[in-house]
Amino acid sequence: MTIHRPATRCLLSAAVLLAALPATAIPRHERQAPTPVTAIDLSDPLVVTANAFGKSAFDLPYIIDSIGQSEVRDYGFRTLPDALRLTPGVLVQKTGHGQASPYIRGFTGFRNVMLIDGVRLNNSTFRDGPNQYWNTIDPYSVERLEVVKGPASVLYGSDAIGGVVNAITTSPYGYEDNPNFAGNVYFRGATHERSITGRAEGSYTTGNLGIVFGSTVSDFGDLQGGHDVGRQEDTAYDQYAADAKVEYFISDTARVVFAHQRIRQNNVPRTHQTVNGIDWEGLTQGSDLRRDLDQERQLTYAQLIIENAEDSFINNLHVGFSWQEQYESRDRIRGSMAQQYQYTNVGSFGFFAHAQTVTENVTWSYGLDYYHDHVNSGSSGSTIQGPVADDASYQTLGAYLQAEFDVTDRLHVIVGGRYNYAHANADSVQDPVTSNPIAIDEHWDALVGSARVVYDLEPERLHLFGGVSQGFRAPNLSDLTRLDTARTNEIETPSPDLDPEYFIAFEAGLKGQGENYAWQASYFYTVIDDMIVRFPTGAMIGTDFEVTKDNVGDGYVNGIELDGQWKPQDELTLFANFTWMMGEVDTFPTSTSGIRREYIDRLMPMTLNVGARYDVPDAPLWFYATGTFVDDADYLSTRDSGDTSRIPPGGTPGYALVNLGAGWNATDNLTITVTLENLLDEDYRVHGSGVNGGGIGLIFGVNWTF
């Protein structure tokens, strides 16, 4: 069983259930364009991310959430991170209006893994702490998101500490006996964002061949805050995206897929570090006159997918080759009028192979993956390197084996192991002591394991699950060589002598489902060992405090997640989710204080989401209301307390948000949705963000299929 985020579950339908099935399991003739919401469905969907191939979420020993394309469109989510904002255990921090970084079970940045159709978005330049890279995935090209919380160390890499999110993109639809052209047009407008987004998508199918292509254009204006903050200057930006996918069915059980994606963001401001930062609740304004980021990403891949092959040793196979380029540049003008420009360009070759052999007693899953990054980086402030080392490379190799079997009719076990290897080579790094160029050539490897169980307290209705998983993350190029801004008034210098991080995650929970209800509950505890943490050196570089890194972060994160929905009548659905989290880690709060245990950075405050949806009987109308209630975020680390352009003195105030919405299926092909966000016009900020959330505003959506 998976919970489709009850706070937005009101927007699900039979069409979303179809989207929740794995792409490898949807027959060609059943694929459809994004369709209007018509009803609630509590059926247990299949997911692919937790075991590499489709399996019932209820039977898997993980907390899993799924967000379908109809949810994204009908609820009016703006970006891919926004689509996760009501997921239990996830805090979506926003450094800027176009820069969001989900914290999953206390971890963000390179300690979570983002996949696009199984291809890793993560590369070796991803930073510690929040980063903006998940914003480079067009949410309107995604068929569904699957969120698997906790370490997925065996299948997708041991650096997936907080969790794995897999964005499964739209495939060709409308397969019929004759050639068929179909399509979808979507429009979204929002008053409080002063934004307009348009998406056009077409699909052509004939015989065994299918093609889908689309483009999305967005213009986001300055964001309007709540009743006191008002318009937040210098938050506007624009975005362009295009994508195409071709698939050819070799047989009923095998197909090849070719895809290309491209997205560009222009002049995305990091407002809180500029003179346009707001002074809400005692925040301090930055001194920069401008701090804008341009970002572009391209992904091209080829994949072979074989499923349910009979009379074969390998029953399921997924093989992929990919080439991905990620480019970012920053233009900064300080208050002194000094201008600084920097850029990073990463080209990544990737290969993965997932296979599965099903025997009478055991299901064996096995595979390997390899990624090679080549990095170029430059800066007007250094002749040696940019934000990370110039002329650098980083390689990772992993191989895994996992067995799934039944100990008894009710006790099911999944055990597995993974070998990880990482190699960093950088020829142009600025020495943090002498400022002379140095080189780095290091490698690390480790074995990690996972053991998880499911016990059927009541078959198909109530399951107890639990397990333990190891995590391992080798230092990446950002850890080793970063020469760039960390937090406000901080500059991070290279740390070439780092060791890997280690984690052990324990989890226990329950899942229940019936004809008119579904719920899941979990307690997790993650042990942190040798985590790489930033701390001040006591030195100044210009007007910024120097920070560096070391493996001093021993500690823990633990928490509770509750998630459920109930349908007392055919027309009415009630839903709620709750998150409580706590965590501490060792660090050096100051350059002279010595090591001390403090709260983890940007600890997620206690959060409750509730809501209801009502479907009008015998009419194509539905109405819903949701409420989000967030406690004060006042468990602060020393660095949180010092980050006064993002976190108010004493912590981020709690808040209550109320949203109302309605939808109308005007015809079989046309859906109109209206959402009134932040009905109370509350001034609020997600903890650790550099921009406030939107005030009261109207989101208007139109979805037309043909």
Instruction: Show the DSSP H helices in 53-159 as ranges.
Output: 69-75
What tens digit of pLDDT does each residue of 82-136 get?
999 989 999 999 999 999 999 999 999 999 999 999 999 999 999 888 889 999 9
pLDDT at 28 over 90: no
Q: CA-CA distance, 563 to 65, in Å (whole number)?
A: 10
Return the percentage of the chain with pLDDT > 90, whole number. 77
How many other C-beta atoms lie within 10 A of the C-beta of residue 254?
A: 15
Q: Judge contact between 402 and 154, C-beta under 8 A.
A: yes
Q: 3-class DSSP state for residue 688?
A: coil
- The DSSP H or E segment spanning 173 is none
> Does the pLDDT at position 209 exceed 70?
yes
Confidence class for position 20, pLDDT limits 50, 70, 90: very low
| Cα 413–chain centre separation | 28
Q: Does residue 138 have a pLDDT over 70?
A: yes
From the list 421, 479, 415, the residue with the least C-alpha distance to 446 is: 421
Give the per-residue SS3 of 580-610.
EEEEEEEECCCCCCCCEEEECCCCCCCEEEE
Say yes or no to pLDDT of 33 above 70.
no
Pairing, β 544-569 against β 490-492? parallel
What pLDDT, on the 0 to 100 scale, is given for residue 34?
62
* Residue matched to tokens 């993974």: 418
pLDDT digits (tens, 9 = 90+) for 418-435: 999 999 999 999 988 888
Cβ-Cβ contacts under 8 Å for 120 (sequence gap 6 or more): 113, 114, 156, 157, 348, 350, 369, 371
Contact 320, 302 (CB under 8 A): yes
Q: Render pLDDT for 676-688 as a digit per residue (tens, 0 to 9).
A: 999 999 999 999 9
Structure tokens that stand for 430 in this block: 């600025």
Percent of the chain with pLDDT over 70: 92
Read off the pLDDT of residues 613-665 as tens digits, 9 standing for 90 and up. Answer: 999 999 999 999 999 999 999 999 999 999 999 999 999 999 999 999 999 99
Q: Which of 33-42, 366-375, 438-447, 649-658 has the lowest mean pLDDT?
A: 33-42
The pLDDT value given to residue 12: 32
Give the whole-angstrom CA distance, residue 671 versus residue 658.
23
Q: How confident is the model at residue 71 (pLDDT cuts 50, 70, 90)?
A: confident
Q: DSSP of 600-643, one letter per residue? A: PTTPPPPEEEEEEEEEPTTSSEEEEEEEEEE--B----HHHHH-
Domain 6-705 is classified in which CATH homologous superfamily?
Answer: TonB-dependent receptor, beta-barrel domain (2.40.170.20)
Check residue 274 and report its DSSP letter: B
> Mean pLDDT in the chain?
90
The predicted structure's pLDDT at residue 694 = 96
Determine the Cα–Cα distance for residues 489 and 706; give it in Å rounded to an integer.
53
Q: Where are the domains of the chain?
A: 6-705
Backbone angles phi, psi at 162, to 5 degrees: -75, -40
Give the up-direction half-sphere exposure of residue 386: CA atoms within 13 A in the CB hemisphere.
21
pLDDT in tens, 440-454: 999 999 999 999 999
β-bridge mates for residue 56, sequence order? 46
pLDDT digits (tens, 9 = 90+) for 592-613: 888 999 999 999 999 999 999 9
pLDDT at 577 > cutoff 90: yes
69-73, 103-107, 571-575: the lowest-pLDDT one: 69-73
